[in-house]
Structure 1
Amino acid sequence: MKGKFMKSANVFSRAIIQPVMFMAVTGIILSVCAILKLDLMPTILKDTGNFIYNILSSGMIGQLSCIFCVGIATALAKPKYKTDAAILGIVTYLIFLFANNSWLQLTHRLAKPNSQGLFGTGQNMVFGIQVTDMGVFLGIILGILVGWMVNKWGNIKLHKYLSPYAGTKSVYIILVFVTILFAIAITYVWPAVNWVIENIVKVMSTTGSIGFFFYGFLNRMLLPVGLHHFLWMPLFYTPLGGTARIAGKLYTGAFNIWLAELGNPSHITAMHQSIGYLSNFGSISLPIGIAFAFWKMSEPKNRQKVAAILIPTVTTAFLAGVTEPLEFMFLFLSPLLWLAHSVVYGISLFLTNIVGIDIQFDTGINMIINSFAFPARLGHQYLIPIMFVVTGLLEYFVFVFMIKRFNIPTIGRANADETLLNGAESEDESVEQAEEKLAQTDSATESADTAKFDNQTKNIVAGLGGPENIDEMINCYTRLRVDVKDTNKLDMDLLKHKTGTKGVMQDGNNIQIVFGVDVESIHDKVDEYLDYLKKHPSESGK
C-alpha cells in the first residue's frame, strides 16, 4: 500500500512541476513590470509596465486552473498520448464549465451578484461562464482524470469499421459523460469541501510564525523523496495559502496574492501574512553558510579543490534557486546533518516572518528586483541584509558544530570519500571537450554515428538498464525522473559514479537522478540517443 502511494505521489509530483516551472518566469516578468509602474518612472515606461502586467495577470495568473489542467494531463500521459491528452485536457475543462453552469441554471441555483460581485457566493466567472468556484483545484482534478483515463483506455481497439473512434477517441466519448456527471455532482459536494478548506486555512493562520517554521522544516525533509511539491504547491496556488481581496478581485494562494499586491501597491495598507511562505533565504544565505562550513572543516591542502566544487553550487542556488547540487553533497552522507539543515531552514523562515520581511524572494535575482518593486514601508526589505547575515551565520555555526561533534566526513576532510574531490582536478574537461574527444575516436567497436553522443549520455542509458528498460522519462528543475521496467537491470554504480550526478535515489521502479539546472539539456541528449538506438538497435550494447 505504501509503495503504491509513493509511486502515485511521485507521478503527481512529476506532473505538477511542469506547469509550475513557467510560474517562476512569470513572476520575474511581473516584478520587472511592477518597477516600471512606479510613480517615479516616465509615463511611457509606466504604460508599458501596466500593459504587460495586465496581460500576464489576466492571461496567465488568472487562468491557472486551465493551465494546470492541460499541463498535468499532458505530463501524466504516456509519450504516445501526450498530444491527444493536451487536446482532451482543454476540451474536458470547457465541457465541465458549460455542464456545471447549465445544471446550476436548470436547478435555479445560480448566485446573484452582490455589491462585491460573486465574492462569498461560492461561485465565480471562468472564461465568462458562471460556475462553482473550485479555483485551481478544478484544473488539478480534471488534469489527473484526463491523464489517468488516456493511459488506461488510450489503446482501446474497435471493429475495423469503427476504427476512427478507437483509442483516445473512445476515451473522449467516456470523458464527455464522466465530466458532465462530475460537473453536476460538484454543485452539491464542493460547498462542503470548500467549508473544510476554509477551516484548515483558519487553523493554519492561527499558528503565526510557528507555522512558517514547520513549513520550512517539512519542505526540506520531503525534498529527498521529491514530495515537497505536495507542500508548497497548494500553499502557493490554492486557498490553503490564504485568500485576499485586492483592488476588487479575489485571489487565493500565497504566490497569486503576492503578484496581485505587486501590481496594486496603492491598494495595500499591510502585506498579507501568506507572503511569509515566499520570503525564503533557503537558496540565498543558507547555501553560503553551508559552503563556508565545508571549506572551513576541510583540510588546508584540499581547500582550493573544495572551493572549486562549492562555488558553482552556491552560484547556482543564488541565481537559479536550485539548492540540490549542494544539498545532495551531504544528504546521503549524514541524515543527522540533513535534519539539522531542515531545522535551520525552518528557523530562517520563522525569523524572517518575526522581523516582518514581506516581499517574495527565493533567488538572489528576484530578491533584488522585488526589493525595488515594492514600497519599503510595507515590504521591510531594508531588513534583508541583516537577516541575510544572521541566517547565513546560523547555518555556518550549526554545520561546523555538527561536523566536529559527530566527525562527519564532509568533502575535503581526512575521513571523506575523495571521489568528488578528485573529480575537481579534471573539472576543466567539460562535456563539450569530452564530446570532441569522443567524436575523434576511431574505435572499431563504435560507429561514427554514435560518436556524437557523449559518455555521460551513454552511461545514463546503460545505467538504467538500456533503452528497452526505460519506461518513461521526464525532468523537473534539477532531476531526471525515470520509471524503469526491471530494477534488476539497473547499474547503480555506473549511475552514481560515471554520469556526473549529484545523487541518485530509487523508490521501487522510480529512479531520480540529480544533475542540477542543466538537467533539461541532459534529458534532450538522452532522448536523442534513445531515438538513435531505436533506429539502430544493434548499437544498444556498445
Structure 2
Amino acid sequence: MKEKMMKSVNVFSKAIIQPVMFMAVTGIILSVCAIFKLEFMPVALQSVGQYIFSILSGGMIGQLGVIFCVGIATALAKQKYKTDAAILGIVSYLIFLYANNAWLTLTNRLAEAGEQGLYGTGQGMVFGIQVTDMGVFLGIFLGVLVGWAVNKWGEIKLHKYLSPYAGTKSVYMILVFLVTIFAMVITYIWPMVNAGVEAVVKTTTTAGSIGFFFYGFLNRLLLPVGLHHFLWMPLFYTPLGGTADIAGQTFHGAYNIWLAELGNANQLTSMHPSIGYLSNFGSISLPIGIAFALWKTARSENKKKVAAILIPTVVTAFMAGVTEPLEFLFLFLSPILWVAHAVVYGLTLLVTNLVGISVQFDTGINMIINSLALPVRLGHQYWIPVVFVLSALLEYVVFKFLIEKLNIPTLGRERELVATPVESAVAESTTGAAGQQADAQTLNIVHGLGGAGNIINIINCYTRLRIDVEDESKVDIAFLKEEVQSSGIVDKGKHIQIVIGVDVQQQREKIEQYLATLK
C-alpha cells in the first residue's frame, strides 16, 4: 500500500510540473510588461504593457484551472492515450462548468454580483460561465480523474457492432456521468468549505497581532484550492478589515482605508492598523530566499540550469507580484515545504505589524513608489529594508534546512546526465537500424531492465526515471549500477527508479523513441 501510494505521489509530482514550466515563461513576459506600465514610461509603452499584461493575466494566470486539468490528464495518461486524455481533459472541464451552472440555476442558487463582483459569494466567472469557485483545485481534481479513468478503462471492449464506442469513447461516456454528478454535489460541499474560511477570517481579525500571522499563514495555505481570496477580499474591502472615519467620511476595508489615508496624509497622526494586511513581503523578499535556497542546495553541475529557471520567477514576483511560477515548483513536490513557506509568510506579516510598517505594497515597484509618497512618520518605511533582509534570510534558512535534512528532491538536486556515451558490451553487440539510432546510455538502460519486452511503463519526475517492469527477475541491478550513468538506482521489485538528473525528460524520450522502433 505504501509503495503504491508513493508511486501515485511521484506520478502526480511529475504531471504537475508540466504546466508550471509554461508559467515561468509567462512570468518573464509579465515582468517586462510591468516595467512598461510604470508611470514614467511613454504612453505608448504603457498601453502595450497593459494590453499584454491583461491578456496573459487573464489568459494564463487567470485560467490555471483548465491548464492544470489538461496538463495533468495528459501527463498521467499512458503514452497511447495522451491525445485522447488531452481532449477528454478540456471536455470534462467544460462539462463541469455547464453542469455546475445549470444545477445552480435550476436550484435558484446563482449568486448576485455586488460592488466587488462575485468576490465573497463562493462563485466566480470561468469562461464567461458563473460557477462554484474552486480555483485551481478544480483543474487538478478533474485532471487526475481523467488521467486515472483513461488508464483504467481505456481498453474497454464492446460487441463488434458497438466497437466504435469502445476504448476511450467509453471512458468519455463514463466521465460525462461522473463529472456531472461531481458538478452537482460540489455546489453543496464547497459552500461549507467557504463558510469555514469566512469563520476563520472573523476570528483572525479579532485576534490582535497574532491575527496577522494567521492571515498570512492561511493566505498561502489556501492558495492551491483557490480559497485565499476569501481571506484577503473581506479584509481589503469590507468592515471585517476595519472601519475608519477620514476627512468626514467613513471607509470600510483595509485597502479603502489606505487610499483615503494616502489622500489625507498631511492631516493624520497615525495610520489605521489594518494597513498591515497590505504590507506584503510575500512577493518581494520571500521569493529571493526560496530561490537562493533551491539554487544553493542544487548540485554544482546543475546550478546554472537551476538559476536560469529561478531568476525569471523571482523577477516576475518582484515586478508583477505573480508568485505562482516559483511556488508551484515546490508546492506539490513537498507539502512540508509549502507549510513551512506559509509559516514564514505569516511570521513576516506578524513582524510587519509589530514594527508598525503601514505602507501598501505587493510588488517591488509599488513598495518603492508608495514609500516615497507617504510621510515616514506615518508609514515607518525605515523598517522595510530590515524586514526585507530578515524575511528573505529566514525563508532561505528554513528551506535550505528542510531540503537537506529531509533530502527533498527539489530542482537540480540530482546529478546531471553526462553526455559522453558509455562503452558497454550491450552497446557493441547491438545491431540493426534501431540499435544504430540509440546511444549507449539508452541501450544500457533497456538491457539492464530486462529488455524492451519487460518494460511496461516509463515516466519521469524532476530527476528520476520511474519504470514498471513485467518480471523483476529479469532486471540486472548490478549492470544498471555499473553501466548506466546515474547517481543512483532504486530497486523496488517491479518498480525501478534511475536517478538521472535535470535532463531526465530527454532521456525518457530517447528510450521511448528507441522502444517505438522495435515494435
Q: In the alignment, what sits opposite 2:171?
A: 171
- What is the CA–CA distance in structure 2 between the aligned matches of 1:81 and 1:166, rounded to whole Å? 13
Scaled by the length of structure 1, the TM-score of the pair is 0.63
- C-alpha contact 2:442 2:511 (8 A) present in aligned 1: yes
Summarize deviations over 1:40-93 as a string: whole Å, max 9, x none: 323332222212211111111111111122122222222211111111111111
Deviation at 1:521, TM superposition (A): 2.1
Counterpart CA distance in 1 for 2:455 and 2:229 is 37
- AA aligned opposite 1:13: S
Q: Match for 2:308 among 297, 307, 319?
A: 319
CA distance in 1, matches of 2:216, 2:486: 31
Call closer, same or farther: CA 1:278–1:169 in 2, change over 3 Å.
Answer: farther
Retained in 2: the 8 A contact 1:470–1:483?
Answer: yes
* Residue pairs, 1:249-260, within 5 angstroms: none
- Closer, same or farther in 2 for the Cα pair 1:530/1:72, shift >3 Å? same
Q: CA deviation at 1:346?
A: 11
Query: Where does structure 1 lack aligned partners over 5 or more consecutive residues?
Result: 216-231, 250-265, 292-309, 323-340, 357-369, 404-422, 536-542
In structure 1, the residue matched to 2:182 is 182
What does 1:134-149 align with in structure 2 at a 5 Å threshold?
A: 134-149=134-149
Task: Write the deviation string for residues 276-297 of structure 1: whole angstroms up to 9, x where unpaired.
Answer: 8952534425755x69xxxxxx
1:523 partnered with 2:511? no
| Percent of residue pairs identical | 49
2:121 equivalent in structure 1: 121
- For 2:100 and 2:487, how far apart are their aligned partners in 1? 48
1:238 aligns to what? 226
Taking a change above 3 Å as real, the CA distance of residues 48 and 452 of structure 1, as seen in their structure-2 partners, is same
Deviation, structure 1 residue 12: 2.5
The CA distance in 2 between the partners of 1:203 and 1:466, in whole Å, is 61
The alpha carbon displacement at 1:483 in A equals: 3.2
Cα gap change, 1:503/1:34 in structure 2, threshold over 3 Å: closer, same or farther?
farther
1:276 and 1:349 in contact (8 A); partners too = no
Q: 1:504 to 1:273 in 2, by over 3 A?
A: farther
Shift, 1:462, TM fit: 2.7
CA displacement at 1:316 relative to structure 2: 3.3
Identify unmatched segments of 5+ residues in structure 2.
238-258, 263-274, 312-336, 353-362, 372-380, 406-414
Cα distance between partner residues in 1 of 2:448 and 2:201: 45
Tell me what 2:412 maps to. Answer: none
- Corresponding residue for residue 472 of structure 1: 457
The residue correspondences of 1:137-536 to structure 2 (distance < 5 A) are 137-196=137-196, 235=223, 238-239=226-227, 243-245=231-233, 270-272=278-280, 275=283, 279-284=287-292, 288=296, 311-321=300-310, 375=368, 431=419, 434=421, 446-447=431-432, 449-505=434-490, 509-532=494-517, 534-535=518-519
Q: Hey, what does 2:330 align to over in structure 1?
A: none
State the one-letter code of the partner of 1:91. V
Pick closer, same or farther for the CA change 1:158–1:86 going to 2, 3 Å: same
- Is the contact made by 2:215 and 2:231 (CA closer than 8 Å) also made in structure 1? no
Q: Are the structure 2 counterparts of residues 119 and 209 from structure 1 closer, same or farther at C-alpha, using a change threshold of 3 Å?
A: closer
CA contact (8 A) 1:73 1:89 kept: yes
Residues 213 and 503 of structure 1: is their aligned pair in 2 closer, same or farther, counting only changes over 3 Å? farther
The RMSD of aligned alpha carbons is: 5.0
Distance (Å, rounded) in 1 between the aligned partners of 2:222 and 2:489: 27
1:523 Cα offset (Å) = 2.2
Asked if structure 2 preserves the Cα contact closer than 8 Å seen for 1:281 and 1:391, the reply is: yes
Amino acid at match of 2:459: I
503-512 vs 203-212, which moves further: 203-212
Residues 172-206 of structure 1, C-alpha deviations (whole Å, 9 max, x = no match): 12222222222221222221233345667899998
Larger deviation: 88-97 or 466-475? 466-475
- Seen in structure 2, the aligned counterparts of structure 1 residues 524 and 398 have a Cα distance that, compared at 3 Å, is closer
Checking the alignment, whether the CA contact within 8 Å between 1:97 and 1:131 is kept in structure 2 is: yes
Could you tell me whether the CA contact under 8 Å between 1:201 and 1:239 is conserved in 2?
no
- 2: distance between equivalents of 1:493 and 1:242? 55
Question: Does 2:77 match 1:58?
Answer: no
TM-score, L = length of structure 2: 0.66
Give deviations 1:255-309, integer Å, cap 9, x for gaps. xxxxxxxxxxx99973447548952534425755x69xxxxxxxxxxxxxxxxxx
- In the other structure, the counterpart of 2:18 is 18
Aligned to 1:528, the other structure's residue is in SS state helix
Give 3-state SS (helix, strand or coil) of 1:110's partner.
Answer: coil
Contact 1:500 1:515 in 2 (8 A): yes
1:110 corresponds in structure 2 to 110
Partner Cα separation in structure 1 for residue 185 and residue 338 of structure 2: 42
Structure 1 residue 164 displacement after superposition: 1.1
Q: 1:503 to 1:280 in 2, by over 3 A?
A: farther
Show the counterpart of 1:35.
35
- Whichever residue aligns with residue 53 of structure 2, its letter is Y
Alpha carbons of 1:149 and 1:458: their partners in 2 closer, same or farther (altered >3 Å)? Answer: same
Counterpart amino acid of residue 303 in structure 2: V
Counterpart contact for 1:123–1:130, Cα < 8 Å: yes
- AA aligned opposite 2:308: L
Alignment check: 8 A CA contact 2:469 2:495 kept: yes
Q: Counterpart of 1:501 in structure 2: which amino acid?
A: S
- Helix, strand or coil: the match of 1:239? coil
User: CA 1:6 to 1:59, structure 2 compared with 1: closer, same or farther past 3 Å?
Assistant: same
Q: Distance in 2 between matches of 1:51 and 1:344?
A: 36
Partner residue in 1 for 2:242? none
2:194–2:230 Cα contact (<8 Å) kept: no
